[in-house]
Structure 1
Amino acid sequence: MSDTVQKSLSAQSWRDLILLAALWGGVFFSNRIALFEIGPITLVAHRTVWAALLLWCLAIFRKTSISLSPRLWMVFCVMGLLNNLIPFSLLNFAQLTVESGLASIFNAATAFFGILLAALFLPDERLTMTKTMGVALGFLGVATAIGFSHLTAFDPRSLAQIAALLATLSYGFAGIWARKHLTGVSPLIAAAGMLTCTAVIATPLAHYIEAPLTLSLGSATWAAITYGAVFGTAGAYLLYYRILASAGSGNLLVVTLLIPPFAIVLGALFLNESLPPRAFAGFLLLAIGLIVLDGRWLAKRGSTRDS
């Protein structure tokens, strides 16, 4: 992330970041509610079908130019797999066993995988000493949150936590793919296209692996699906790209720090979840790692020392 140290955040950008964190923090809560009735892949299918429809309607309403080549659809399909189908399914699977707040803490590892993968696959990215320190702290935080004893004991809870981590790895690959193939594509069309491809793949997959998709679901499940599709996916993507344009990709690292508090509080209030102390210790290490990656605090300390 070559632009990690960049623009100062305006008051509006802070409001947008907090809103985006609240939306995505709420997704962990809504997913847990929906998973009481439907399976992980079925939830992905519902979430992406309705979100894609909403975004295409918005594109038509805005009269957005839509020019889609077979190559671009292929790009959308790969992006849909890496950014939606694989990580959504893995996180949903994880939430069958681990707390929604803990899943959101693991989700913060996305930034660290993104840094490593960018250094491997993007020629303009270098793994500097500062980035190496930040990544090391981040992965130490992940290991702490999992619990060192669970790293060798592969019980269902351990497997669920590993699934959550693999989801963040998939997000990291999605970021590389987007950098290489989606530059210049309208954010609205890119989001609608990848969600459409995800829905087309996830719907038959859910049908054969879990159960035929049905609209006969409980009101709580529909409320959770509606939130996840409308606010946590379609609305969140639009807000994400607005922050990206106004504040830069480096500042979007901040949102990964802000998501877990929302997920943890919602899980504690409405799902009676409680996290072990190691989860909070791991989150603290993740936060320190992200601060090191961001670089502004260290740069400010250095300039103060030199003055």
Structure 2
Amino acid sequence: MRIVVTGRHGQVAQALYERAAGTNAEIVLLSRPEIDLTRQSDIETALSAVKPDAVVNAAAYTAVDQAESEPDLAYAINAEGAGAVARAAAKLGVPMVQLSTDYVFDGTAEQPYRETDPTNPLSVYGASKLAGERAVAKATPDHAVLRTSWVYSPFGKNFVRTMLALARQRDEVRVVWDQVGSPTSALDIADGVLGVVRNLLAEPTRSDLRGIFHMTADGTATWAAFAEAIFAASRAAGGPSAKVIPIPTTEYPTPAKRPTNSRLDSSALAAAHGIRLPHWRQSLQPCIERLLAQDAN
């Protein structure tokens, strides 16, 4: 099966390319200049040229704080662009997977969020991603929206890489303790996405395989606890570490508000698709070891 993935340089796109190696899945990564989500008129042409069996829209405007000052660009990519990709997939008659985020919720719930819980994004980024979900659903019924959170990987910029860099510069790192979520490996997300795509292709008439699903790693942590786990894993691999000083969100103000509770209930994905991601701690150590090896080289 040939899968077109938008956003060549993103964490999930890179992870999909790696995870598909040696399988029956051929990943075709498209990014600018081949495809530009702000230029909707070119999207169908770019996708048609590849003749995909499925489309995964992993491209997004992900600069959460910067989006507050660039809402038009965030919406152009995350909302209108996603809708254009979905319309192109519909014309090609292929299923589409849209990656989304925990930021569609306001984080005030006391329990993990289910797909049926009310959305209420606190930021431009979250609102633009929610608009993208709706644009995809409007454009094609043959879709699966996968909401994930706190993505880390050996690729690109992410919290794990940032913590390792800080540990090389200082002995103590101040990290927020009052936000909780599920750190999720992009490599595990890639495995999940490939499973969802296979299911969509195998059973094109099953409505319960389509719609919105939450897909995060098992287990939860605060940002401070996640940082402590990163440093512990780094120490175990001979890498840098630092002492974590837990601080409240009020001591680390940002232009965009973050949900206090980013926990997502992924049981619907397990029930429909038979997919469960491993515990985040299980996937952290190999990620740390790869990042340390990259830095050594």
Q: TM above 0.5, one fold?
A: no
Q: Which has the higher contact order (CA 8 A, sep 6+)?
A: 1
TM-score (norm 1): 0.24
Whichever structure has more strand as a proportion of its residues is 2
Whichever structure has more helix as a proportion of its residues is 1
